[in-house]
Structures are given as C-alpha cells and as structure tokens.
Structure 1
C-alpha cells in the first residue's frame, strides 16, 4: 500500500502553495481560486491545501487542530540547518533547530495555520519497534 495524497485545511492556500514550491520542491498541478491548490512531489504524492469553510460543518476537528503537522525528512543536519536559514532569511518565524527523539529538527507554522516539521530521520530504538503479536 502506498500513501497517495494528503489534504490539509489552510487559512491561506496561495501562500502555502508558494511555500511548498519554494522550500520543498513540490509542483502545482491545479489552483482553484483561493479555495484549493493541488501539488505533487517527485514520488507522486499529492498534497492538497484547501479552504472549504462549508466542509467544516458537521466535521469534528480537535479543539487545537494546530498541533497537527506534516514533516519533511532531510538527509543531514546540515540540510536541516540550510533550510532553516533560508526560511529565517525570508522572514518566516521558525524555531531554532534542536535535538528531539534522536533527530535534528525544527517546526514552523504555515500561513494556512498548521505546522511543518523539518527533520533528519528519527531512529527507532529496538524497544520502540512494532512487534506484531503472534
């Protein structure tokens, strides 16, 4: 099975579309005014950012859905630092990179309201590895 798309509610679809292109290398497939942008990465994953207020009715989002985030893996600590520097230079409010769970990482909030994590690969400790009960 392969994950093929992610759909995020965004308060600013255009700003988020530009950010995903500029910093994460996604390309835009479709833009529908200020309500939706559909982007894709080099592996075929589709990312949709939408601002469909009418879709919020009847859907029970967590009270603090700003804690939800998506993550982008970088190859090295230097790559994390370089992206952090680019974002900072361009005026984004980004946390300072730090060690967390064995990875080098930072978070920032997209214009759409959700959070993005930029990190190196997080190692899984043997005691944390999933073991199917047989």
Structure 2
C-alpha cells in the first residue's frame, strides 16, 4: 500500500501552487478561486491545497521530494537561490539534502537518498 493523497493547509494557495509547479513539476488539475487547488504528479499522487488563515505545522513537519541524484538536488537549490528563496546549500546527512520554507507556511525537503548517492 502506498500513500496516494495528501492535503496541506496553506496561507496562500496560488503561491504554494506556483512553487510546487516551478520546482517539482506538479500540475494543477483544478482549483476554486484562491482557496483550493488539486495537483498531481506523474505517478498520479494527489496533493490538495486548502486555504487556512492560521497555518501552524509542528516544527519537524515537512514534505519530501526525493531526487535521482545529487546533481538534481544542486540544480533545484541553485534555481531557488537565483529566484530569491532563502535556502542553505545541501548537506550530507541522511542523504544529500536541504530544506526550504515554501510559500503558504510548510517546509519542503529536497534530497537524494543515501541509497542513490554517487
């Protein structure tokens, strides 16, 4: 069994949607104004974004986007820096990874798992 759907409550649905489209290739399959969006990826994972006034996730909560290799992690990190996002360089931890606060109030991890590292 695999997880096939996740809902995130965010403070800014359009900004979160654009972030996920730009850096992770998710596609919007429908929305209702600026309060709700349905997105999915190439594996038909469904991510819904719902607007909330106050978004407060636990400190360690994050959504992960594994990459095929370290070069892809570096590429996304560099693109985010060039676009003005506040990101630190990737580090070797439980894989090759970095975290970024996404628009809308949630944290994203971009990583190359240890099993795929060069």
TM-score, normalized by length of structure 1?
Answer: 0.79
> Taking structure 1 as reference, are residues 64 and 18 closer, same or farther at Cα in structure 2, changes over 3 Å only?
closer
Counterparts of 1:1-134 in structure 2, within 5 Å, are 1-53=1-53, 65-101=58-94, 103-123=95-115
RMSD: 1.8
> Taking structure 1 as reference, are residues 71 and 64 closer, same or farther at Cα in structure 2, changes over 3 Å only?
closer
SS of the equivalent of 2:14 reads helix
> Taking structure 1 as reference, are residues 46 and 99 closer, same or farther at Cα in structure 2, changes over 3 Å only?
same
Report the structure number with the largest CA radius of gyration: 1
Q: Which runs of 5+ in 1 are unaligned?
A: 124-134
Deviations 1:5-35 (A, max 9, x none): 1101111110010111111011101111121
TM-score, normalized by length of structure 2?
Answer: 0.89
Higher RCO (CA 8 Å, separation ≥ 6 residues): 2
